[in-house]
A and B are shown apart, each in its own frame.
Chain A
Amino acid sequence: MLKLDCCVIENGNFTLSADIQIKVGTRVAIIGPSGAGKSTLLETIAGFRDLKQGQIFWNGRQISNLHPGKRPMAMLFQDGNLFPHLTADENVALGLRPNGRLTKEEQTQVRSALDRVALHGMGERKPSELSGGQQSRVALARVLVQRRELLILDEPFAALGPALKAEMLDLVADLVAETKTTLLMVSHDPQDARRIANQTVLVADETVFAPTQTEELLENPPPSLRAYLG
């Protein structure tokens, strides 16, 4: 279980308070008005921002003082998810061994991860030689080999077309289901939330609200969400 215990996050002149729990294996969409602090929340969970107050726990273990790379989570950012000078193979390999050479066995893992995201035979290509969708797939293949218990998506597919984005979300849904990974994803689009997330967290009015069933929330949105959904 991911637990944000009386957390207060400060970002410039606004603060965000969060006191929520998310069960293992759930797929959670984070929605809310632009500028409400969705990305700030994810960055804090992932360790790129310090908490002002409170603590973060994962399955009872306090993780809020851990280095980002030591936290049990993988994260995909809005952009810059691949190193442009490394091939797809090498980018994926970083998920297994960020600091060393792969064993034969691990190389096989890399290849099968690329196969799994339908990039068979494209391991030698560099990101600039891949389409946007293919770049996202490489990043997902890396997430796959990372085998972290929590996956955090900060709108990595925002630049993709609707069909492609839906395809990616379905792929993410499949992958997290296969690996029993907990998913946290920021979304602007309620349809995305419906498509993939069984629970939704609303971030609004400097507060992170407790997760509720996605359908329920979207059917009966609170005022702040209603203003956002229009």
Chain B
Amino acid sequence: MAERAQPVSQWPGIGAAALVAALILGTLAAVAARAETSGGFTSADWAALRFTLTQATMSAFFSVALAIPVARALARRRFRGRRALIALLGAPFILPVIVAILGLLQVFGRSGWISDIMGVFGLPPIRIYGLHGVVLAHVFFNLPLATRLVLQAWQEIPAERFRLAAQLGCNGMAMFRLIEMPMLKRTLPGVLAVIFAICLTSFAVALTLGGGPRATTIELAIYQAFTYDFDLGRAALLSALQLALTAATALVALKFSRGDGFGTGLDRALRRWDGGLPAIDTFWILAAAVFLMLPLASVVISGIAGFFDMPAIVFRAALISVLVAAASTAVLLLLALPMATAAASGRYGFVELSGILGLAASPLVIGTGLFILIRPIANPTTLALPVTALVNAAMALPFALRILVPAAQDITARHGRLALSLDMGKWTFFTRVLLPRMRPQIGFAAGLGAALSMGDLGVIALFADPQIATLPLQIYRLMGAYQMQAAAGGALLLLLLSMGAFWLLDRGGRWHAEA
């Protein structure tokens, strides 16, 4: 087929994708090039691979399976505080790992709230440690993301389709088959792939909730290769394995998520007519809220005592984190928007693939690789913040793309012909049509990126300058100095900042743009 005229240009997006690929593969190559040994896989590595695949597959499956009814309930119901609930549901995703672990175990642990309640009835405490614990923790982290992504796809179905179906007298099940099933078929593979990739690189969560060395993941093996064995060759090899697994998953997901958009819709507010049983929706919303909120509540409760008693240095760290998050969000959008645009004009595979690599890249490998690359040119410590912003952006990129690409595709499909026939320039289409039409998605992606960057320890630990510490790093330092209460206060502050950034940006995108 001949190349048809496109209303948008692919090249900036391809350039951005190449840049991201260069960052991830270049740092990997830099690490490999420094290897003194050629390091092969050990039998322990294969065991780690097996465990990693098992837990990531199960985590992705359960996160997505549970996200479907929750997202459907949220899409169908309108109630007071719905938006706040959706925003709050996103919180686990952006918590620093150590805070989330403590929060989760405060609820589900041996002496957690649930075990305490069971104790009242003479029951033994729940056994949380093991594969099921790993999956539970990963569902806690990723259910909100899965729900948001599926909910968004739900909301992108034009209101007209639901009206049509309602007019045809479709009940809940028929409407599901007619409209929602095709949407899910298109959306779920991508969501599954993203969560699978996130869980692939899990380390501290998998180890702690897994209860011991049988829960060794590839990421832990990479860490071990780096610091315990100083075997850069093996670290690079394991990291390449992680990348290959993610790339393979992404390719499979892409293959299944091709499909047409939902055609044109006018900007009508989304209303649904398939009542269904409100009790079922209420159940799912409540169940998800309780599951996700309890550990958050424990973070808040533990944090309050220390919150008003934090050293000034914590607020300084908070300010630095906000600045890094702002820079990281800007970089994220600069990369993600052209990439989504290119994906919308047909360069889907390459762009998405290079985007998703950010998930699979081991932060340790990226950080070390950058360190190796930067050191001959400049003092890495002075570049700690820009590097952190860049790496955080690369890590958030896959999420941003999942959010932006479907919207960009739909908008290009809907309005591309008209723009072409008007002889609208590519830049004008980008700024006057694509950007304003994608505002809700851009706000969501930016909010997620900012929140993720805020909560991510990232590579700053590798480049750290004692004077410039981000809030997550400062929280770790507080814990390392026995200051658990101040650390809990810091975690609460971080939670508030992340949620605030997310709410502000997400809200900004949706201002005057319902649904």
Contact = CB atoms under 8 A, between A and B. Distances in A.
User: In the complex they form, do A and B come into direct contact, defined as C-beta atoms under 8 angstroms apart?
Assistant: yes
A49 B4 CA distance: 7
Given A77-B417, A83-B415, A83-B418, A98 B424 contact: yes
B414 interface: yes
A46 B2 CA distance: 16
Interface string A139-152: 00010001000000
A69 B420 contact: yes
A50 interface: yes
B119 interface: no
A80 B418 CA distance: 8
A89 B366 CA distance: 50
Interface in B414-435: 414-415, 417-425, 427-428, 432-433
Contacts of A84: 266-267, 437
A94 interface: yes
Contact of B423 (A48, A98, A127): A98
Contacts of B424: 69, 94, 98-99
A37 interface: no
Nearest to B431: A99
B436 interface: yes
A180 B328 CA distance: 56
Contacts of B421: 46-47, 68-69, 73-75
Contacts of A70: 423
Nearest to A127: B266
Contacts of B425: 98-99
B357 to A, nearest CB: 33
A85 interface: yes
B5 interface: yes
B268 interface: yes
A103 interface: no
Question: Which of A83, A86, A127 lies at the interface centre, i.e. has the most chain B CB atoms within 10 A of its CB?
Answer: A83
Nearest to A73: B421
Nearest to A43: B417
A99 B4 contact: no
Given A79-B264, A84-B267, A85-B267, A68 B414 contact: no
Contact of B4 (A50, A75, A98, A142): A50
A220 interface: no
B267 A128 contact: yes
Contacts of A98: 419, 422-425, 428
A90 to B, nearest CB: 8
Nearest to A50: B2
A77 B4 CA distance: 18
A63 B441 CA distance: 39
Contacts of A100: 428
A67 interface: yes
Q: Which of B264, B266, B422, B425 is packed against the most chain A CB atoms within 10 Å?
A: B422
Nearest to B436: A85
A32 interface: no
Contacts of A47: 5, 420-421
A48 B437 contact: no
A5 to B, nearest CB: 19
A69 B436 contact: no
B420 to A, nearest CB: 4
Given A80-B414, A98-B428, A48 B420 contact: yes
B433 A83 contact: yes
Nearest to A77: B417
A212 interface: no
Binding site of A, secondary structure by majority: helix, strand, loop or mixed?
loop
A128 B265 CA distance: 10
A81 interface: yes
Interface string A144-166: 00100000000000000000000
A185 to B, nearest CB: 15
A95 B437 contact: no
A77 to B, nearest CB: 6
Contacts of B4: 48-50
Contacts of A49: 4
A15 to B, nearest CB: 15
Nearest to A94: B422
Nearest to B433: A83
A70 to B, nearest CB: 6
A126 B417 CA distance: 20
A158 to B, nearest CB: 14
A225 to B, nearest CB: 29
Contacts of B264: 79-80
A98 B123 CA distance: 71
Contacts of B268: 128
Contacts of A48: 4-5, 417, 420
Interface in A42-64: 46-50
B266 A68 contact: no
Contacts of B437: 83-85
Interface in A96-150: 98-100, 126-128, 142, 146
A118 B267 CA distance: 24
Interface in B1-48: 2, 4-5
Most chain B CB neighbours (cut-off 10 Å) among A86, A98, A126, A146: A98
A221 B28 CA distance: 72
B428 A99 contact: yes
B433 to A, nearest CB: 6
A77 B266 contact: no
A68 B5 contact: yes
Interface string B429-473: 000110011000000000000000000000000000000000000
Contacts of A127: 266-267
A50 to B, nearest CB: 5
User: Could you say which of B423, B428, B436 has the most chain A C-beta atoms within 10 Å of its C-beta?
Assistant: B423
Given A69-B424, A70-B423, A99-B428, A81 B418 contact: yes
Q: Which of B267, B417, B428, B436 has the most CB of A within 10 A?
A: B417
A124 to B, nearest CB: 15
A40 B95 CA distance: 53
Contacts of A81: 418
11 contacts: A47-B421, A48-B4, A48-B5, A67-B5, A68-B417, A75-B421, A80-B264, A94-B422, A98-B425, A99-B425, A99-B427
Interface of A: 46-50, 67-70, 73-75, 77, 79-81, 83-86, 94-95, 98-100, 126-128, 142, 146
Given A46-B421, A48-B417, 6 more contacts: A50-B4, A67-B423, A68-B421, A83-B432, A84-B267, A100-B428
For the complex of A and B, the 7 pairs showing the least CB-CB separation, nearest first, are A69-B423, A98-B424, A99-B428, A68-B420, A99-B425, A80-B264, A98-B422
